[in-house]
Amino acid sequence: MSDQLAPTGQGNSPAGGTAGYAERADALAVQYEEVTFEEVHFDVLRLVPAEPCRILDVGAGTGRDAAPLAARGHSVVAVEPTTELRAHGQRIHADSGIDWVDDVLPDLALSQHAGRFDAVFATAVWMHLDAEERRHAMARIAALLVPGGRFFVNLRHGPVPESRRMFAVSAAETVELGSTYGLRTVHRSERPDLHGRDNVWWSSLVLQMNDADHSPN
Q: Domain for residue 68, yes or no?
A: yes
Q: Which segment of 17-26, 33-42, 112-121, 151-160 scores lowest on mean pLDDT?
A: 17-26
The CATH number of whichever domain residue 46 belongs to comes to 3.40.50.150
Q: What is the mean pLDDT of residues 22-48?
A: 81
Quick one: pLDDT at residue 207? Answer: 98
Mean pLDDT (the chain) is 86
Q: Are 150 and 206 in contact (CB under 8 A)?
A: yes
Quick one: pLDDT at residue 9? Answer: 37
Quick one: pLDDT at residue 195? Answer: 85
Whether 127 shows a pLDDT value over 90: the answer reads: yes
Could you give the percent of the chain with pLDDT greater than 70? 82
Give the full edge-to-edge strand order of the sheet including 145-157: 99-101, 75-79, 54-58, 117-123, 145-157, 201-209, 183-192
Q: Domain for residue 215, yes or no?
A: no
The dihedral built from the CA positions of residue 103, 134, 98 and 192, taken in this order, carries a sign that is positive
Whether 28 shows a pLDDT value over 80: the answer reads: no
Q: Which segment of 36-50, 177-191, 201-215 scores lowest on mean pLDDT?
A: 201-215
Whether 191 shows a pLDDT value over 90: the answer reads: yes
Quick one: pLDDT at residue 213? Answer: 55
Quick one: which of 43, 68, 42, 40 has its CA closest to 55? 68
Q: Domain for residue 134, yes or no?
A: yes
> Which of the four pLDDT bands, split at 50, 70 and 90, describes residue 7?
very low
Q: Domain for residue 184, yes or no?
A: yes
Number of domains composing the chain: 1
Could you give the percent of the chain with pLDDT greater than 90? 70
Quick one: pLDDT at residue 29? Answer: 60
Q: Domain for residue 86, yes or no?
A: yes
Q: Domain for residue 136, yes or no?
A: yes
Residue span of the structural domain in which 114 resides: 14-209
> Which of the four pLDDT bands, split at 50, 70 and 90, describes residue 2?
very low
Q: Domain for residue 191, yes or no?
A: yes
Higher-pLDDT residue of 108, 22: 108
How many Cα neighbours within 13 Å face the side chain of 62? 19
Q: Domain for residue 214, yes or no?
A: no
